[in-house]
Structure 1
Amino acid sequence: MMEMEYMREIPNSQMDRRPRKRPRISTWETPQSSKAQSGLYSGQEVGNITSFGPTRVHLEHPSHFVKGLNVHKGSPPWRDDDKDGHYIFELGENLTPRYKILKKIGEGTFGQVLECWDRELREVVAIKIVRSIKKYRDAAMIEIEVLEQLGRHNRNANGCVQIRNWFDYRNHICIVFEMLGPSLFDFLRKNNYRSFPVDLVREIGRQLLECVAFMHDLRLVHTDLKPENILFISSEYVKIPDNKGTMREGKRLPKSCAIKVIDFGSTAHGTQVHNYIVSTRHYRAPEVILGLGWSYPCDLWSVGCILAELCSGEALFQTHENLEHLAMMERVLGPLPDHLLRRADSRHAEKYIRRGRLNWPEGATSRESIKAVLKLPRLQNLVMQHVDHSAGDLIDLLQGLLHYDPTLRMTAREALRHPFLTRNRYRF
C-alpha cells in the first residue's frame, strides 16, 4: 500500500494465504526460483501527472560485463537489498539491458514502481519491483496470474490494467505495465481534496462498475478497490478558475475521464465464501468486519465508498478501529440490521456487540472518537451538500451499493442499469 497523507490500514492476512498455481517464471540473475508479491502502482502527480501480454525475456550475455564492450547495455553491479528487501538502484542505470531507469514514481508495502525506458519497444513504461520477501513474491505471482487471465478474456480488459511483461530479476519479481496517469487519490490530493463534478463521478462510476462486472463474470473478486488503485489513463488536465476568477487556486479537471483499475495482488476467487480480512480499512464492508464471510458484494461496498468520496473529496469512513467504523456506518446509513448482528461471530465481534446491538458509545475508546462519529452527516445530506443536480439518483445508487446485507446489495450489473449511470457521458 502506498503511504498517503492520511493513513490507511493495510490488511496482512491476504498475504499469508497459499498461492494458487503459478505461471512459469522467466529469470534474470535470480539466485533461486520464485513465487512473488503484490502491489499497487501509483501514477505521477497531476500536471502532466503520471500506462499500464507478456513478451519474451532475453538472458544477459557475459559480454555485457566485459570492460569496454557494450557496457551501456549491461546490468549494474550486484547490490544487497535494503533491510526491508527493497531493490537498490541508481537513476540512469539499467534494470536488465532492456530497461533504463528514469525515476521512481511510487513506493509502498509491496515494493516500488519505476519509470523506465523500454529500449526494445522504444517507449516509457512503469515497472513494479517487488520486495525480495516470500509473501510479497507470492502475492505478485497471484497478480500476474490474474492479469494474464483478464487479458486472455478481453484484449482491452474492460478497464483492468494490462500486463506487458514480467521477469524475475535478482530475486525481485518485476511486472511491466504501460504508463498511466495519476490515481484518483492523487488527483483529489492535488485538488486540495475538493469534490469531483457529479458528471465526472458518473463516468468514473460507470467504468469502475464495468470493470467489477467483468471481473465478477470471471468469478474474481478484487477485494482492494480504493481511489489509490484507480488510475486515469492520461495525465493531462485543465485548470478552471476559482470563484474569484483566479487560476492559482482553481480546480483541476482531467482532459479525459478514462480510467483503469490496478493492483490485483489480493484478488480472490468468488466461488466460495471467505472469512479472512480484506480491503483497506476505509473501504471495508460490514460483513468483513463482523466476520460473516464475504464474496462478490464486498467489491460493491467499496465502489459505494469510492463514489461518495469523489463527491465530497473526503473518505466516507475515516477510521482505524472496528467499533468506531461500525458506529460511523450507523451514523451515515442508519442502524445495522438485527439479523446481521445476531449472526456475527461472537468471538470476532464480542468487543463491539452487546445484547444484540452495537456497543456504542459505551465501548468508545475516547471522547474524540465519539465526536468523530457525531460530526458525520447522513448520506443524503452529504450528497446534497456537494451535488447540485442528479442528487436523488446518486443517493439512491449509493444506498443500493452500501446496503448492509450483502445478499440485498446491488450487483455490478444491476448498478450499471441504474438511472444515475445511464445518462449522457461526461464531456469536459
Structure 2
Amino acid sequence: MHTPPVATRKRKRAHQYTVSYSEVQEVDSAGRLREVIVIEDTPPPSTVSPSTTHMLSASYQPPIYSAPIRTRARAAAEAQASSSSASSALLPPPPKKRKRDPVDVAGTPAKKPAVNGHLQPSSTNKSWATGSGAATDEISKGAVPCDDKEGHYLIVPDDMIYKRYRIVRLLGQGTFGKVVEALDTETNNRVAIKIIRAIPKYRDASRIEVRVLHKLKERDPTNRHKCIHLLHWFDHKNHICIVSELLGMCVYDFLKENDFAPFPRHHIQSFARQLLGSVAFLHELHLIHTDLKPENILLVNNGYKYVTVPVPGKRNNATRVKRILNDTDIRLIDFGSATFEEEYHSTVVSTRHYRAPEIILGLGWSYPCDAFSLGCILVEFFTGVALFQTHDNLEHLAMMEQVMGKMPESFARSGARHKPEYFKEGSKLDWPKPKATRQSRKEVKACRALSVRPSLSSSEISILTVLQDIISPTDNINKQFYDLVKKLLIFDPAHRISVKDALQHPYFSTHIAEES
C-alpha cells in the first residue's frame, strides 16, 4: 500500500454571491410605462454539488416525476411567486462543506426594457445565433414566460427545445445557468445541453465558449486530445444552448462518493497523461484554460468495482471497502474562462484551490498557470483531498511557503512591488498578521515544511519535505511522481515545467502494475 491514508479534513470554500441592480421599464396593468429598480441577488444554490458548477455530468439522479407533470404555465406561475421554489425540488442533497472564495463579477447588466414584466436584453430582439426574433415575439404576444426572475430557464420534463431536443431531467445548475439531459429526436441519442441564463453578461461569456469549442473541434475532429466536443449550439428563447455528448460524473464527485479515498497509482498515471495531453493541445492553439480542477474533469463512464483494502495505522487488520474505476477515460470540460494568449487577460482567474502564486500576486499569467493547477490536481488524486484548503490570499501564500519553501528572492521582490500588503521589510511574506485567527494559523501550520535541503538551487526551492511526506518516495514510481509534481509546483512561472515537457517526464515510461 503506497498511497497515504485518507485525510479527514475536507475542502472548504467560501460562499459566492452575485448582487447587481439595474433600472428597467415595466408595463403596468393600465399599459403605462414606469421606471423601477431591479435587484438581482444570485447566491449559488446551497444544495447543489460543487461539481455542478459547470454541469455536463450525469451523476445526479433527481426525483421521479409523478402525474400530473408540471406544465409550462404552472412552472411560470411558481417562478413568479418564488424564483427559488421552481428549482429547489430538483436539487440534489447538500454536499460536504466546501467553501468557495468570492467571485468578482465584472460590471452589472445593462439597462433592459421589460415587456409584461419580463426582462429582455437591451441590445437587440434578434438572436445573434440564428437571426430569429421568435423568443421576443412570443413574449410580446402574451406567451407564458420561460424564465424565472434570475434569468434561469424553467426546466419541465418532456419540454421540447429548438423543436428537436426533449428534456429528460435536470443535471444541475450554477451561476451561468443549467444543464439538462435531453433526447435528440433526430438521432435518438442522449445529450447534455448547457442552457445559459438570459442575462447579457452570461450570454456574452457563452459566445466565447462556443468560439473556443468550435476551434477545438476544428483542430481535433477525432478528439484524440480528450476535450469536450461541441455537437450543436443555438439560441432558444433568448438562452444560448450548448449541446455536447452526455458523459459520466466529474472526478470530484467520484472522490466524494468514495469517501475521498485516493486513486490507485496506475489510475493517477493515466489521468496525468490524458490531462497533460489535453492542456498541451490547448497551449499549441495559444489557449489557456485558466480553470483546471477536478470538477472540470468528467469520467466517460461511471462504472466501478468494490475492493476491500486495509486501513493504514489501524490495528486488528481493519479493512474498508473502496471503489475502483473500471475505466479511466476522461474529458476536459468548461472552456467558458479559456483565454487566447494574445487577447485580454482578466486580473483574477482560476478556482482558489488551484490558483497559481503569480495570479494571487498580480504579476500577470500565461500558460504556466495551467501547469501549476495540474500539479495541485495530481496531488489531490494521490491523497484524495485538496492540497491548499483556504479562501484568503495571504493565508494561501503562507500555505504555499509551508509546502513549497520560501519564495525565491527575485519572485518575492516582484510580488512585494505589486502586493505590498502581503509583505514586510526585506520582501518577506508578512505572515502571520496580528489579526490572523487561531484556526487560520493552525491550518497553515498543518502544511509545515521542514528544513531546506542546501543542494537545491533557488529555482528548485519549491517542493520540500512536506511534499515528500505526502508522496513518500518509497519506490521508483513515487520518486518519479514526486519529481514531476515538484517541477509543476514552482513559485516562479519562468522556471516551472511546461505541460509539453512534462509529458516527456520519465514518470510516464515507468510501468505501474494494477493496484488498489
Which interval holds the TM-score relative to the shorter structure? 0.7 to 0.9
Look up the match of 2:100. 8
Look up the match of 2:303. 236
Contact (CA 8 Å) 2:198, 2:239: kept in 1 or not?
yes
Question: Structure 1's 152 and 367: CA in aligned 2 closer, same or farther, altered over 3 A?
Answer: same
Partner SS state of residue 205, structure 1 = helix
From 164, 168, 173, give the equivalent of 1:102: 168
Contact (CA 8 Å) 1:186, 1:228: kept in 2 or not?
yes
Contact (CA 8 Å) 1:105, 1:115: kept in 2 or not?
yes
Matched to 2:369, the amino acid is C
| TM-score, normalisation: structure 1 | 0.81
Contact (CA 8 Å) 1:3, 1:108: kept in 2 or not?
no
Matched to 1:216, the amino acid is H
Question: Structure 1's 275 and 364: CA in aligned 2 closer, same or farther, altered over 3 A?
Answer: farther
Matched to 1:349, the amino acid is K
Look up the match of 1:125. 191
Question: Structure 1's 33 and 392: CA in aligned 2 closer, same or farther, altered over 3 A?
Answer: farther
Confirm or deny that 1:267 pairs with 2:267.
no
Shift of 1:383: 1.6
Shift of 1:15: 8.8
Confirm or deny that 1:256 pairs with 2:348.
no
Look up the match of 1:216. 283
Contact (CA 8 Å) 1:275, 1:293: kept in 2 or not?
no
CA distance in 2 between counterparts of 1:296 and 1:405 reads: 13
Shift of 1:79: 2.3
Look up the match of 2:222. 156
Contact (CA 8 Å) 1:130, 1:137: kept in 2 or not?
yes
Look up the match of 2:477. 390
Confirm or deny that 1:144 pairs with 2:221.
no
Look up the match of 1:41. none
Contact (CA 8 Å) 2:477, 2:510: kept in 1 or not?
no
Look up the match of 2:252. 185
Aligned residues: 377
CA distance in 1 between counterparts of 2:344 and 2:337 reads: 15
Confirm or deny that 1:294 pairs with 2:365.
yes
Contact (CA 8 Å) 2:265, 2:512: kept in 1 or not?
no
CA distance in 2 between counterparts of 1:353 and 1:271 reads: 31
Q: Give the RMSD, CA atoms, in angstroms.
A: 2.9
Look up the match of 2:382. 311
CA distance in 1 between counterparts of 2:441 and 2:128 reads: 45
Greater relative contact order (Cα < 8 A, sep 6+) = 1
Look up the match of 1:111. 177
Contact (CA 8 Å) 2:402, 2:447: kept in 1 or not?
yes
Contact (CA 8 Å) 1:194, 1:312: kept in 2 or not?
yes
From 345, 353, 372, give the equivalent of 2:423: 353
Deviations 1:172-203 (A, max 9, x none): 11100111111110110110111111111111
Shift of 1:323: 0.3
Contact (CA 8 Å) 2:234, 2:240: kept in 1 or not?
yes
Q: Which protein shows a greater Rg?
A: 2
Greater CA drift, 231-240 or 211-220: 231-240
CA distance in 2 between counterparts of 1:15 and 1:145 reads: 22
Question: Structure 1's 88 and 397: CA in aligned 2 closer, same or farther, altered over 3 A?
Answer: same
For structure 2, the 5+ residue unaligned runs are 1-43, 51-95, 109-122, 312-318, 449-465
From 437, 452, 467, give the equivalent of 1:379: 467
Partner SS state of residue 421, structure 2 = coil
CA distance in 2 between counterparts of 1:170 and 1:339 reads: 53
CA distance in 2 between counterparts of 1:162 and 1:102 reads: 21
Question: Structure 1's 141 and 228: CA in aligned 2 closer, same or farther, altered over 3 A?
Answer: same
Question: Structure 1's 253 and 388: CA in aligned 2 closer, same or farther, altered over 3 A?
Answer: farther
CA distance in 1 between counterparts of 2:478 and 2:421 reads: 37
The aligned runs of 1:23-102 (5 Å cut-off) are 32-33=125-126, 78-102=144-168
Greater CA drift, 188-197 or 149-158: 149-158
CA distance in 2 between counterparts of 1:427 and 1:243 reads: 16
Shift of 1:344: 2.0
Partner SS state of residue 351, structure 1 = helix
Partner SS state of residue 159, structure 1 = coil
Partner SS state of residue 317, structure 1 = coil
Partner SS state of residue 124, structure 1 = strand
Partner SS state of residue 325, structure 1 = helix
CA distance in 2 between counterparts of 1:60 and 1:120 reads: 24
Look up the match of 1:39. none
Shift of 1:31: 7.7
Question: Structure 1's 364 and 219: CA in aligned 2 closer, same or farther, altered over 3 A?
Answer: farther
CA distance in 2 between counterparts of 1:35 and 1:14 reads: 22
Deviations 1:261-281 (A, max 9, x none): 000010111237846100000
Shift of 1:90: 1.4
Matched to 1:254, the amino acid is L
For structure 1, the 5+ residue unaligned runs are 17-29, 37-56, 66-76
Matched to 2:353, the amino acid is H
Contact (CA 8 Å) 1:291, 1:344: kept in 2 or not?
yes
Look up the match of 2:6. none
Look up the match of 1:335. 406
Question: Structure 1's 110 and 35: CA in aligned 2 closer, same or farther, altered over 3 A?
Answer: farther
Shift of 1:10: 5.7
From 200, 210, 215, give the equivalent of 2:267: 200
Partner SS state of residue 244, structure 2 = strand
Partner SS state of residue 250, structure 1 = strand
